[in-house]
């Protein structure tokens, strides 16, 4: 019997103390499409996303991530992960079909860092209504309908006060993520790692934040734009809406062209992301960056997020 596998990043469930402002930010400024609203929760996706949603917004007393969700390669993989995780000592909670809008039966569990993950397979892929539908049969919505208009959901970056190496090890051994790049300082401890289950450089990144109040922090969620010019256009749109941002710039790690902005409703940081590279080699060796590489690794050129207040974790995850 083959081991269960994760296929891709699915969605992030975000709770916000100012739902109206967060909805304005993600829908009108970032440019996501609203799939539907159910019992006060808004479900959104980018114009090139096919699943029911890649982001949900729910009102709450503070900003935090309820869970980060991943879709498996096969239906039976959900049960497979449940068994493997329980065997490894992880408590698993079943979410029955219908409890969460947009997908079927799922499991939820926490990493050693207490970040909450969800795994599912069955998913709704609703068509866009006729007014918003693209004429392209391989695209969900019309592009450039509003705002920055990213194509798709790309990755998440979580922060922790725990040993980053321990979390990377858990993601690798229990969930099948592959380490692509990492940063190791002179004390020989890994302080950041980029991992994926797809050819992307990272579907998830884990970074150290020793002074964080809790071990389960979010650094950012990320949406993909097609090219650097799209990022520059997004900068104009953010500026026109009076929203502060960091960037544009280029990371050495991942070679990504980036811009960072914070949702004024929830405090969730969003990276608008382009460039980077794909990993197609089956024998890829993880790339090591050291403390001496800092000036190139984090910021190859441009506005340095490491030197800004915006680099701090924003909310719990």
pLDDT value at 312 more than 70:
no
Q: How far apart are CA 215 and CA 198, in angstroms?
A: 26
Which residues does 83 contact at the CB level (< 8 Å), separation at least 6?
A: none
pLDDT digit string, tens, across residues 248-278 = 999 989 999 999 999 999 999 999 999 999 9
CA-to-CA dists, residue 202 to 56, 174, 195, 279, angstroms: 22, 17, 5, 10
Over residues 199-205, the mean pLDDT reads 97
pLDDT at 298: 80
CB burial of residue 269 (10 Å; 0-12, 13-18, 19+):
buried
Helix (H, G, I), strand (E, B) or coil at 169: helix
pLDDT value at 140 more than 80:
yes
Q: Which residue has the higher pLDDT, 188 or 181?
A: 181
Q: How far apart are CA 283 and CA 158, in angstroms?
A: 26
Asked: is 6-120 a CATH 3.10.180.10 domain? The reply is: yes
**Which segments of the chain belong to CATH 3.10.180.10?**
6-120, 152-316
Q: Which fold has domain 152-316?
A: 2,3-Dihydroxybiphenyl 1,2-Dioxygenase; domain 1 (3.10.180)
- Write the DSSP symbol of residue 2: P
pLDDT at 308: 56
pLDDT digit string, tens, across residues 31-71 = 999 999 999 999 999 999 999 999 999 999 999 999 999 99
- Taking each continuous run of H as one helix and of E as one strand, the counts in the chain are 5, 19
Q: How far apart are CA 248 and CA 259, in angstroms?
A: 5
CB count within 10 Å of CB 211 equals 8
Q: What pLDDT band is residue 1 in, cutting at 50, 70 and 90?
A: low
Q: Which pairing describes strands 217-224 and 269-275: parallel, antiparallel, or unpaired? A: parallel
Instruction: Using a pLDDT cut of 70, give the percent of the chain over it.
Output: 97
Closest CA to 81 of 68, 96, 93, 98: 93
Is the CB of residue 270 less than 8 Å from the CB of residue 218?
Answer: no
């Amino acid at each position: 019997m083959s081991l269960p596998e994760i296929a891709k990043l699915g969605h992030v469930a975000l709770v916000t103390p100012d739902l109206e402002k967060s909805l304005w930010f993600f829908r009108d400024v970032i440019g996501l499409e609203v799939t539907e609203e159910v019992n006060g929760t808004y479900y959104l996706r980018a114009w090139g996303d096919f699943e029911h949603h890649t982001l949900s917004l729910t009102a709450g007393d503070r900003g935090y991530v309820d869970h980060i969700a991943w879709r498996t390669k096969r239906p039976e993989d959900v049960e497979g992960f449940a068994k493997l995780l329980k065997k490894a000592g992880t408590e698993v909670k079943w979410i029955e079909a219908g409890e969460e809008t947009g997908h079927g039966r799922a499991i939820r569990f926490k990493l050693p860092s207490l970040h909450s993950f969800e795994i599912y397979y069955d998913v709704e892929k609703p068509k866009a209504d006729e007014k918003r539908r693209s004429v392209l049969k391989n695209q969900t919505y019309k592009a450039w309908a509003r705002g920055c208009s990213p194509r798709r959901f790309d990755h998440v970056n979580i922060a922790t006060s725990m040993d980053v190496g321990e979390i990377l090890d858990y993601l690798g051994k229990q969930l099948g993520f592959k380490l692509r790049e990492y940063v190791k300082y002179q004390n020989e401890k890994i302080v950041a790692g980029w991992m994926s289950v797809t050819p992307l450089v990272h579907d998830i990144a884990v970074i150290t934040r020793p002074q964080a109040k809790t071990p389960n922090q979010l650094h950012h969620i990320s949406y993909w734009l097609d090219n650097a010019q799209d990022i520059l256009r997004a900068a104009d749109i953010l500026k026109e809406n009076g929203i502060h941002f960091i960037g544009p710039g280029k990371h050495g790690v991942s070679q990504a062209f980036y811009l960072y902005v914070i949702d004024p409703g929830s405090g969730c940081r969003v990276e608008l992301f382009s460039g980077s590279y794909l990993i197609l080699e089956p024998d890829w060796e993880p790339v090591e960056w050291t403390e001496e590489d800092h000036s190139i690794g984090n910021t190859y050129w441009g506005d340095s997020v490491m030197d800004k207040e915006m680099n701090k974790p924003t909310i719990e995850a």
